[in-house]
């Protein structure tokens, strides 16, 4: 037994040690592309600043297509142009998305004022978008000046009855960020035709929301409340006329004669235009958005022709440089941004219905001015990640990552928990031209426009490689 006891362990041990060890297959090396981001940023910049087509495309859109208001032949022409340009840029999938939009026709419009025994004086004006008209008949009434809600509330219905209310509220020059100043003023209840109409007034005149000191009127959109018994007409006038009218009202009674044939005629179908480069790794979507429409009287060069051509330029640059994108990069050119916003709502509904995974949305609607940074409306951890890239952007004048607002055309995507960003530019001149006949191609600087497209492409590259 001893032998057996001794030999058995030796036998077993020999048996065990004689077995071949399982050969481990070497683990597959996960090859992650490493980038010298400084070099990649420079390649992008060199390509766009040397070969960029955004400026030429903007000339075609503003001068060749011209005004492209919703529900007009101009908008239909713009959609054809956009499809062509997306294809030229290298988009592989291009499609249209139907959007129901209001049909609103401005028609003829005029405003005259008179004081004492003087003759009627013509005042340059623009009807609010979607405003009711006067049926082509003269609406003659006394003008009453109100410049804050306290003044409005102090007046009785009898004092307001059958009057035309005039609001001469300027953008606050002390607010350096002109976008902030605009938004604060635009949200004033004094600029609401519904608020004024419910107090018995027959019409509304406002000072244009502009930083300019000329007499060019700037358009504004109107919203009526569903329970409005009377939808009063509303118009905007230039700042010089506004200041002169206020001075006159402080001295004597002034009468206005307003005549507008503006009318709404139901709805029709326009389209969002969408183009994309499919992802090489997955179908997750990075979206760039800009509005394709403009006001009925305007070329819309800064608002938002610049944004349209910058978005298209991002696709072109990716293709020209052979930047193999991991995720799908999609451009959405929205319908009906100026007088309704139906295009952006339709796209957000589409994303929700399809349950498409969007990892990022970048908008551009502040004009083709020198880029300064990106506003980031997203969770803190995502913001911190973009902050870490700041030094890559600094050589290109991009330093402002502290703002948190998102433009209206991509804003509905926030409800779907999609991180949002907007190109931040130097806006000191933007509201000189915004929503006016002065928003023309000659007001856009080629180099500034291309710098904005460069910054956008650089950010999209970083998102694509790191998210």
| Interval 415-435: pLDDT, tens | 999 999 999 999 999 999 999
**Mean pLDDT value across the chain:** 92
The predicted structure's pLDDT at residue 408: 84
Q: In the chain, where does the domain assigned CATH 3.40.630.10 lie?
A: 37-102+266-466
- CB-CB contact of 408 with 361 (8 Å): no
Query: Quick one: which of 153, 225, 226, 239 has its CA closest to 193?
Result: 225
d(CA 452, CA 406): 17
Q: Rounded CA gap, 391 and 237, in Å? A: 45
Average pLDDT rounded to a whole number, residues 339-346: 96
pLDDT for position 33 = 56
DSSP notation for 127-145: EPBT----TTS-EEEEEEE
CB-based burial label for 346 (10 Å; 0-12, 13-18, 19+): buried
| pTM greater than 0.95 | no
The residue-averaged pLDDT of 341-354 equals 96
- 3-state percent breakdown (helix, strand, coil) of the chain, nearest 5: 40, 20, 40
Q: For 31-55, how does the pLDDT look when each residue is reduced to its tens digit (9 = 90+)?
A: 445 789 999 999 999 999 999 999 9
Contact 277, 315 (CB under 8 A): yes
**CATH code 3.50.30.30 region(s) in the chain:** 107-261
Cβ atoms of 363 and 290 within 8 Å: the answer is yes
Q: Domain 37-102+266-466 falls in which CATH fold?
A: Aminopeptidase (3.40.630)
Could you write out the DSSP letters of every residue in 94-129? EEEEEEEEEEEE---EEEEEEETTPPPEEE-EEEPB
Q: With contact defined as beta carbons under 8 Å apart, do 299 and 433 qualify? A: no
Cα separation of 178 and 421, whole Å? 18
Average pLDDT for 439-447: 98
The CATH class, in words, for 107-261 is: alpha beta
């Amino acid at each position: 037994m001893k032998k057996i006891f001794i030999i058995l362990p030796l036998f077993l041990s020999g048996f065990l040690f004689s077995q071949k060890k399982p050969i481990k297959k070497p683990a597959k090396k996960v090859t992650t592309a490493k980038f010298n981001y400084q070099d990649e940023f420079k390649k992008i910049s060199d390509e766009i600043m040397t070969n960029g087509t955004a400026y030429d495309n903007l000339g075609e859109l503003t001068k060749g297509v011209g005004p492209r208001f919703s529900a007009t032949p101009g908008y239909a022409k713009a959609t054809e142009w956009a499809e062509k340009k997306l294809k030229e840029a290298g988009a592989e999938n291009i499609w249209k998305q139907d959007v129901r939009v209001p049909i609103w026709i401005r028609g003829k419009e005029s405003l005259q004022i008179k004081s004492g025994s003087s003759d009627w004086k013509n005042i340059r004006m623009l009807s609010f978008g979607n405003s009711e008209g006067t049926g082509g008949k003269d609406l003659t009434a006394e003008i009453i000046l109100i410049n804050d809600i306290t003044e409005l509330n102090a007046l009785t219905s009898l004092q307001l009855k059958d009057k035309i209310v005039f609001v001469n509220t300027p953008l606050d020059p002390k607010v350096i960020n002109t976008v902030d100043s605009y938004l604060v003023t635009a949200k004033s209840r004094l600029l609401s035709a519904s608020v004024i109409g419910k107090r018995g007034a027959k019409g509304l005149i406002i000072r244009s929301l502009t930083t300019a000191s000329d007499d060019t009127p700037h358009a504004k959109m109107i919203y009526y409340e569903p329970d409005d018994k009377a939808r009063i007409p509303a118009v905007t006038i230039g700042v010089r006329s506004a200041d002169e009218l206020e001075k006159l009202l402080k001295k004597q009674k002034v009468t206005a004669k307003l005549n507008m044939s503006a009318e709404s005629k139901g709805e029709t179908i326009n389209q969002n235009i969408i183009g994309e480069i499919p992802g090489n790794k997955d179908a997750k979507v990075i979206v760039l958005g800009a509005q394709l429409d403009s006001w009925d009287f305007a070329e819309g060069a800064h608002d938002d022709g610049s944004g349209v051509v910058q978005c298209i330029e991002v696709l072109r640059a990716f293709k020209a440089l052979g930047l193999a994108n991991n995720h799908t990069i999609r451009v959405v050119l929205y319908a009906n941004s100026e007088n309704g916003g139906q295009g952006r709502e339709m796209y957000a509904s589409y994303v929700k219905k399809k349950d498409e995974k969007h990892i990022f949305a970048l908008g551009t609607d502040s004009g083709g001015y020198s880029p300064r940074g990106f506003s980031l409306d997203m969770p803190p951890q995502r913001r911190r990640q973009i902050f870490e890239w700041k030094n890559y952007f600094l050589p290109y004048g991009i330093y402002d990552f502290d703002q948190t607002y998102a433009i209206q055309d991509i804003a509905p995507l926030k409800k779907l928990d999609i991180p949002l960003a907007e190109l931040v530019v130097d806006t000191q001149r933007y509201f000189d031209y915004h929503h006016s006949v002065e928003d023309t191609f000659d007001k856009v600087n080629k180099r500034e426009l291309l710098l904005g497209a460069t910054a956008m492409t650089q950010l999209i590259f970083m998102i694509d490689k790191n998210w």
